Amino acid sequence: MPATIYKTLAATPIEIVGGEGVWLHGARGERILDTCGGVAVSSLGHRHPRICAAMAREAQQTVAWAHAGSFTCAAAEELAAFLVARSGGLARAQFLSGGSEAMEVALKVAYQYHHERGEPDRSIFIARRQGYHGSTLGMLSVSGNRDRRSIFEPLLPPASFVSPCYAYRDKAPGESDEAYAGRLAAELEETVRALGPERVAAFVAEPVVGSTNGAVPAVPGYFRAVREVCDRYGVLLVLDDVMSGMGRSGPLFSHLEDGILPDITVIGKGLAAGYQPISAYLVAEHVYAALAAGSGIVRNGQTHVNHPYACAVALEVQRTIEDERLLDSARARGAQMRALLEETFAGHPFVGDVRGRGLFLGVEFVADRTSKRPLAGGGALVAELKRRALSRGLLIYPGAGTVDGVRGNHVLFAPPFIASPAEIAEMVGRFAELLDECQPLLSSSAHADA
Ligand code: PMP
């Protein structure tokens, strides 16, 4: 009888005993092809020789732990400097353990910024309906996935929501990207005005929406337009680059592709590529300066802030990505995978859309390609797809609630950057075989009520 609590209490997950590159190895001899870096985490794949060597070395050299309230260390300093220098203008970074908590601190810092500047009434966060920002109560409150919010709704602090930038479903026929971006920026502006600009702290968004929406990038110009709205009303722009950042959707920081500078951005998953649990938030100089000139402290304390070993491993991961030009590889593999997905599913009755940016791609399922009516079955359907994929030795990352937090489903692709062209082709080929096998299941979902 295991003593561990699993996500699904009724089933014991596959025991993983090792891995190599894009492959995971199970205790019963399973060999599992990883199409998604788990949840867009493993950008260097498994057992990367340079990272394994660095981990062994750092275990000898780096202090195991030293409280950031009293100490700093070379690894945290170097990692912060490395990231700041590549951020296009952000000034400072602090490290935490997971994406939810870094997002949580980012929003606390955003509020503290206003408080220090004499605007304590700016306490409302505006987020987007299809976004996901983490599993803590604070982050669920700004997340749009209704399933994840579910029974916790009574515990969640209030937040305000605007439409996502979801061109496949919401861009009107004949509407240009510019007009669509303008329409969404106007909606944000109206929301800020309706709430009262003096009460709004920040607008929170994922540059490329991941788990809830299935790798949906904003249309060109969207982030420039919302940046302008934020500037006009003194509202901070907080980006959640936890899944899309660190090269997953192209550059190290997604905002570089969108041509804007956020006030705060948050990274996680790919920062240490899963070799350590580490995340970070980075702030612009004016945010840091407001805190420095005010109370002079960050009103947040956690045990594992700027963890020396985690920072050292993350630094080696980032140096490896840079030295081995893996952002270029990721872009090339992304273009290859996207072309293969588009070609393979061009006529597929239940694949409505192939989208994404960089090596962060998604396919959205539909019952009917013309009406875009979603498949019925939601979470149960994609859970079954995932189960069948795993039994074929294929790890996929499906999601449900794609359309509106409840209806719709998709599969995300986020393979390791080190995948070879042949491995990418194998991933798409095996996914296509999986959909062939699941054709009766998809078909019956298409004929049921969504
Ligand atoms: N933000 C985004 C965009 C995410 O995708 C996630 C994780 N899926 C989080 C925040 C939360 O990160 P974590 O699970 O590491 O707490």
Which two tokens mark 84? 């700041």
CA angle 39, 42, 48 (to 5 degrees): 165
For the cut 70, the answer to whether the pLDDT of residue 192 exceeds it is yes
- Cβ atoms of 102 and 110 closer than 8 Å: no
Q: pLDDT tens across 153-171, in order?
A: 999 999 999 999 999 999 9
Residue 379, pLDDT score = 86
Q: What is the 3-state secondary structure (H, E, C) of the chain?
A: CCCCCCCCCCCCCCCEEEEEECEEEECCCCEEEECCHHHHCCCCCECCHHHHHHHHHHHHHCCCCCCCCCCCCHHHHHHHHHHHHCCCCCCEEEEECCHHHHHHHHHHHHHHHHHHCCCCCCCEEEEECCCCCCCCHHHHHCCCCHHHHHHHHHHCCCCEEECCCCHHHHCCCCCCHHHHHHHHHHHHHHHHHHHCHHHEEEEEECCEECCCCCCEECCCCHHHHHHHHHHHHCCEEEEECCCCCCCCCCCCCHHHHHCCCCCEEEECHHHCCCCCCCEEEEECHHHHHHHHHCCCCCCCCCCCCCCHHHHHHHHHHHHHHHHCCHHHHHHHHHHHHHHHHHHHCCCCCCEEEEEEECCEEEEEECCCCCCCCCCCCHHHHHHHHHHHHHHCCEECEEEECCCCCCCCEEEEECCCCCCCHHHHHHHHHHHHHHHHHCHHHHHHHHHCCC
Q: Ligand 1: which of 133, 139, 241 to mutate, most ligand atoms within 8 Å of CB?
A: 133
Instruction: State the distance from the centre of ligand 1 to the C-alpha of 156, rounded, in angstroms.
Output: 17
Q: What confidence score (pLDDT) does residue 19 get? A: 97
Domains of the chain: 16-34+325-448 (3.90.1150.10), 52-323 (3.40.640.10)
* pLDDT > 70 fraction of the chain, expressed in percent and rounded: 100
Predicted local distance difference test score (pLDDT) of residue 11: 86
The CA dihedral of 383, 270, 28, 52, to the nearest 10 degrees, is 180
82 CA from centroid of ligand 1 (Å): 22
Is the model's pLDDT at 328 over the cut of 70?
A: yes
Structure confidence by residue, pLDDT tens digits, 225-265: 999 999 999 999 999 999 999 999 999 999 999 999 999 99
Cα distances (angstroms) measured from residue 60 to each of 43, 195, 200, 314, 351? 25, 54, 48, 16, 50
Q: Measure the CA–CA gap between 197 and 212, rounded to whole angstroms.
A: 28
Average pLDDT over residues 122-150: 94
pLDDT in tens, 375-403: 998 889 999 999 999 999 999 999 999 99
Model confidence over 70-90: pLDDT tens digits?
999 999 999 999 999 999 999
Whether pLDDT at 204 is above 90: yes
Q: How far is the CA of 266 from the centre of ligand 1 (A)?
A: 10
> CB atoms < 10 A from the CB of 3, how many?
4
pLDDT score for 378: 82
- The tokens describing 224, both together, are 């420039």
Cα-to-chain-centroid distance, residue 338 = 19
Half-sphere exposure of 323 (CA within 13 A, CB side): 9
pLDDT at 306: 98
Q: With contact defined as beta carbons under 8 Å apart, do 412 and 362 qualify?
A: yes
pLDDT digits (tens, 9 = 90+) for 269-301: 999 999 999 999 999 999 999 999 999 999 999
Give the number of the atom of ligand 1 that is nearest the alpha carbon of residue 206: 3
What is the overall mean pLDDT for the chain?
A: 96
Distance 328 CA to ligand 1 centre (A): 25
Minimum CA distance residue for ligand 1 atom 14: 99
Residues with CB under 6 A from ligand 1: 39, 98-100, 103, 132-135, 206, 210-211, 240, 242-243, 268
Comparing 450 with 438, the larger pLDDT belongs to 438
Report yes or no: 274 and 41 within 8 Å, Cβ to Cβ. yes
Q: Who wins on pLDDT, 176 or 145?
A: 176
> Which is the closest atom of ligand 1 to the Cα of 244?
3
User: What's the gap in Å between 341 CA and the centre of ligand 1?
Assistant: 25
Q: What is the pLDDT of residue 146?
A: 83
Say whether pLDDT at 210 is over 90: yes
Spatial separation of the C-alpha atoms in residues 387 and 409, rounded to whole Å: 15
- Give percent of the chain above pLDDT 90: 94
Q: Give the mean pLDDT of 37-55.
A: 98
* pLDDT at residue 450, rounded to an integer: 58
Residue 365 tokens, joined: 């399922």
